[in-house]
Amino acid sequence: MAPSILQTLILLLSASATFLTTGAGANPLPNSSSNSGTKAKSCVNGPPATGSSPGSLPIADYSLVAPAANLNWTSYTVKKSWWDDHFLSGPHYMPYTHHTDPYGAFKCQYTCNAAGDKCKSYFLWYTDINNANEHINCVLFDDIIDPAIFVPGGNSTIGAGGYDRRCQSSTA
């Protein structure tokens, strides 16, 4: 029997410290005007997110990043101070549930691409899990997400992935 999407997500979280998953349980919506202008990184040389999970869709221009595997978090978010410093836009509501994953991450890349060179990464989480209002949120940032900025999220969310823009010369 094939593993459920939730089991696959949990496996991804515990399998590699190079994956990023999100879950803003506290839903720390920052002040959108708080971007501090801190010098942001522009890209990473990591592997493409395509193929990072069973049945994954093409996300070739972004690399998946996660908290350290030993943390084994299902729900987490980025530190509010980092969020406030690097927030571009969002959360962008998408009607997908964790049963349709990884479609939300696939669609969010287009939201980031539409922001042009300003968008360096995006972060996703499912909220209102297993009820009629379940959906995924996508937030855009002007900096590369480092795994060190993750903190635990709330119980009613599932992390769905954080994605850093890959450098054009990446061949991984």
Amino acid making up residue 152:
P
Please choose, from the candidates 11, 63, 54, 25, the residue with its C-alpha nearest in 3D space to the C-alpha of residue 151: 25
Determine what percent of the chain falls in helix, strand and coil, rounding each to the nearest 5. Answer: 25, 25, 50
pLDDT digits (tens, 9 = 90+) for 51-93: 655 566 788 899 988 887 767 677 888 889 999 999 999 999 9
Is this structure's pTM higher than 0.75?
no
84: left (phi over 0), alpha (psi -120 to 50) or beta: alpha
Torsion of CA 68, 80, 159, 50, to 10 degrees: -70
pLDDT digits (tens, 9 = 90+) for 104-149: 888 899 999 999 999 999 999 888 888 899 999 999 999 999 988 8
Strand bridging mode 150-152 / 76-78: antiparallel
Strand bridging mode 135-141 / 121-127: antiparallel
The Cα 17–Cα 4 span in angstroms is 22
